Amino acid sequence: MKKIILSLILFFCLVLGVKAQINKAKFLHDFNLADPNEKIRLVASYSFEEIKDIYPLIQDTFIRIRKSVFQTPPSVNKEVKFLFDKIEADKEMYERNYAKSVFILENCLQRHTRNINDSLKCWAALKNSFLKIRNYNKAIEINHILELKWKNKLPGEEIDFGVKKSTIYFEVGLVDKALMERRKEYRAVDQKDTALALNYYNDMGVFYNSLKKSDTAAFYFLRAKKILAIKKPESGNEVFYAIYKGLIDGNLALSYFNKGAVNEAIPLLKNDIYYSSLADNYGSVFNAYNLLVQCYVLQNNKELAKAYIDSAYDVLRKRLRNNASLQLKFLPTVASYYNLISDYRLSSASYRTYFAMRDSFAALEKEQDVVNQSVIFNIEQREMEFAEKENLIKQIQLDDARQRSYRAYLLAGVLILSLIIVFLFINNRLFKKRETQLQFKNKQIKNQNAQIEQSLKEKEALIKEIHHRVKNNLQIITSMLNLQMSKLDDEKTSAILFEAKQRINAIALTHQMLYQKTTIANINLSEYVENLVKQIEATVTATGIQLVTDIVATDSRLPIDGAVPLGLIINELVTNAYKHAFPLGKKGTVTVALLKNEGNYTVVVKDNGIGVSDDFEKGESKTLGMELVLILIDQLDSKLIIENENGSSFRFDIKKT
């Protein structure tokens, strides 16, 4: 089975542009003409695998430049130092010295990165290194860091994200999770990009092949073939087409083979061999030969099975340098061929070789696991040591900063103390001078205050006298009205004079409360309403009508220009209730309430009598008293609300002062 990691490598080759084989002469010519920094930039622009044959020719120059660069201070030539680390880490990865690669990359990340893009390159390379030593937890942790930091990537530079998270899950064996993650990854990219789409459908097919869900796998491979068919070989994309044609046909053939459709698998495997050969992908060619032999063994076709065994060995020897892992993979296939031709001796020998090699590989793998665990332990230990050193450095820096702050504060304190002493000395001299001036001014102010207080007392007494005289004058007018009423036989005229007397009494009460209290500018709201209601009750002789008060105690006060209109309004409303709310002989209750609401006070005069007439509610019937009420309500900047349910109710607000 073709590994998904192969398709990943192919994908990045295609995204970054499949480079033609390096022109050795041109590379060396450009290298020799470039200055030292440009030499390093030129080498870093290729992977080590691309320049592995050229590297021995430039190695001495490379080492000499490196020695010169790393003798400079840490902050100098950071770009070139970063490129040196990149090249050396890539070289160690190629030579499978993964632990050394991790060490170089971690050192680079701590010391030589200039910006977020350099850090992202280091993280991506570290992720690939940890995957090689099968430290999947660390690889997933780094992948998470990359995802968080990727959004801060600086524009204008292509950066390899490294192995996808879905691939990591697949390598761990979490295939279901890999499928879910691969769908998420594909939704996040441009789905019109042919290479991305081909990779997605191929990866999904490989994942389902690993689950032995051959029909589902074939569905995805056929989708990939359909996309690839649109992008037929053209000038400039022959390698692209050949790589994907061989890859997808080979994987689709495996799906057919897994479900027993050998006849459908054979032509696809031959396509794989042809196109993979064009792309120099001989690992894929060998895998196709291996599966073809298995197909012909199942068909009992001894001649073709033998021919493809020979072809596979030829590719293994000439192109793949007798790769041991591929040999191990091929031996059971060879044994099955010998069983087909009844050569049980060679079949048994193939199996013995297979088991011997497998045991050897298992031992090597265990040894590698031990080495990997040692590498992981050393890395973790180094990270802990580095973290401890960082904490120690931070603590030293913090202590140093505290000492500097302490010294700065001490110096500042001495300076401030000196300034304070000088200030106090000067201020003391000035204080004595000011004290003499203040004593003289205080004496003048006391005299002036005494004169002002005397003047205020005289004015208060005068104002109280004025209020007293106004009240007496109003009382005289009331007495005159009483005398006049006693001489009249006309009840209508008497009623008019009575109403006038009540209004005068309301005004007189205001003046009486003003001169009786210590504060002459205003009067207490609740006391005023209470006294006014009592005065009205005392002057009205109606029988059977009870006057009830519900007055909230308050410290709010009313100026005279508010008290007079309020007294007249309450007088008119209560008098009207006595006169009109209850027919002759009927008993009832008149209620006067002062209620506190949000921000204001509300005055309510209501009765449980017959209520107001429809004409009155429509505004068609208004007495002089009600017209006076409405005028006074406007003066208080309020609004009269009339309700006619279970009697009548008159309600208006007074602004709090």
* Structural domain for 587, as ranges: 525-655
**Regarding predicted confidence, which is higher, 526 or 346?**
346
User: CA nearest 109: which of 129, 128, 123, 95?
Assistant: 123
Amino acid present at 528: Y
- For the chain, state the CA radius of gyration: 53
Domain-located, residue 537: yes
Percentage of the residues of the chain whose pLDDT score is greater than 90: 21
| 568 part of a folded domain | yes
Specify the number of domains making up the chain.
1
Which residue is associated with the tokens 């048994």? 348
Question: Tens digit of pLDDT for each residue in 475-526?
Answer: 678 777 767 776 677 767 766 777 677 777 767 766 666 656 656 667 887 8
Kindly tell me if the per-residue pLDDT of 14 is higher than 50. Answer: no
The pTM for the full model equals 0.53
The pLDDT value given to residue 641: 86
Which amino acid, residue 274?
Y
**What pLDDT digit, counting tens, does each position of 551-608 carry?**
877 777 778 777 888 888 888 888 888 888 787 767 888 888 888 887 788 899 998 8
**How confident is the model at residue 301, as a pLDDT?**
94
Note the pLDDT tens digit of each residue in 53-78: 888 988 899 889 988 888 888 777 88
Residue 65 lies in a domain: no
Q: How confident is the model at residue 466 (pLDDT cuts 50, 70, 90)?
A: low
Report residue 287 CA to chain centroid gap.
49
Q: Is residue 637 part of a domain?
A: yes
**Residue 2 binned pLDDT confidence (cut-offs 50, 70, 90):** very low
What contacts 618, CB < 8 A, 6 or more positions away? none
pLDDT above 50: residue 473: yes
* C-alpha triplet 486, 488, 491: angle, nearest 5°: 105
In a domain, 626, yes or no: yes
- How many angstroms separate the CA atoms of 554 and 182, rounded? 75
Nearest to 284 by CA among 202, 388, 407: 202
622 confidence band (pLDDT: 50, 70, 90)? low
For the chain, give percent helix, strand, coil, nearest 5. Answer: 75, 5, 20
Tens-place pLDDT, residues 181-227 = 999 988 888 778 888 899 999 999 999 999 999 999 999 999 999 98
Find how far residue 652's CA is from the centre of its chain: 52
Q: Specify if 227 maps to a domain.
A: no
- In whole angstroms, how far apart are CA 121 and each of 13, 38, 150, 157, 528? 16, 20, 11, 11, 86
Where do we find the tokens 């060679």?
346
Least confident of 18-22, 305-309, 334-338, 634-638: 18-22
Domain membership flag for residue 382: no
Query: What is the pLDDT at residue 12?
Result: 40
What does the pLDDT read at residue 16? 37
Residue 645: CATH number of its domain: 3.30.565.10
Q: What is the mean pLDDT of residues 385-399?
A: 73
**Please, what is the average pLDDT of the chain?**
82
Pairing of strands 641-643, 588-596: unpaired
- pLDDT band (50, 70, 90) for residue 10: very low
- For residues 558 and 285, which has the higher predicted lDDT (pLDDT)? 285
- Sheet containing strand 545-551, edge to edge, reads 545-551, 588-596, 600-607, 649-655, 641-643
Q: Is residue 554 part of a domain?
A: yes
Evaluate if residue 20 carries a pLDDT over 50.
no
- pLDDT of 657 higher than 50: yes
